[in-house]
Amino acid sequence: MNKKAYWYIVLFLVVVLIQVAFMNNMQFSRFVNPYFYVLFILLLPINIPRYLLLILGFILGITIDIFSNTPGIHASASVFMAFVRPYVVNTSNLDDNEKGLIPSVVNMGFGWFVRYASILIVLHHFFLFYVEIFSFQGFFQTFFRSFFSSIFTFVFIIISQFLVFRK
């Protein structure tokens, strides 16, 4: 295996550990739940094959489900996020030189990463919370829960970008 593969294995283990050990225990008024593990999908290379992206999304989600004792909710939301990710990336008009990069603030710029991450995080969270409740009863409560959890997750991910990826 090459150096990049080891980096992604370590990243996978770190985000799962952070999610399971800290973020799952962090709830603010039972309304905001940050899901830091989505960072793994966000940081996969832009030119990764779609089938591999979906498989890694499933493995990530099912790992979180196992530790969180949830019946496939995170797996389905992670696969959904991995499914829509290429469409979000394609809307950003990247050159061929940028398609081999890891999408991060340092590589792609702050504005690009904010748009990219915020769209995917919001889609993931809305899918996750609506699948969890699986009804339109309490629609607005679930809407606000998804929205505020997305904001919290986004803040943690942006902070991690400035801590890990420095020029």
Q: Could you tell me the residue range of the domain that residue 73 belongs to? A: 3-164
Is 74 in contact with 65 (CB distance < 8 Å)?
A: yes
Distances (CA, A) of 106 to 4, 10, 92: 17, 20, 16
CA angle, 146 then 152 then 157, to 5°: 120
Structurally, how many domains does the chain consist of?
A: 1
List 28's β-bridge partners, or say none. 32
What pLDDT, in 10s, does the model give residues 108-156? 888 999 999 999 999 999 999 999 988 778 888 899 999 999 999 999 9
pLDDT for 53: 96
pLDDT for 25: 80
Distance CA 16, CA 14 (A): 5
- What tens-digit pLDDT sequence spans the chain (167 residues)? 688 889 899 999 999 999 999 888 877 767 788 899 999 999 999 889 999 999 999 999 999 999 999 889 999 999 999 999 999 998 877 665 556 678 888 888 889 999 999 999 999 999 999 999 887 788 888 999 999 999 999 999 999 988 876 65
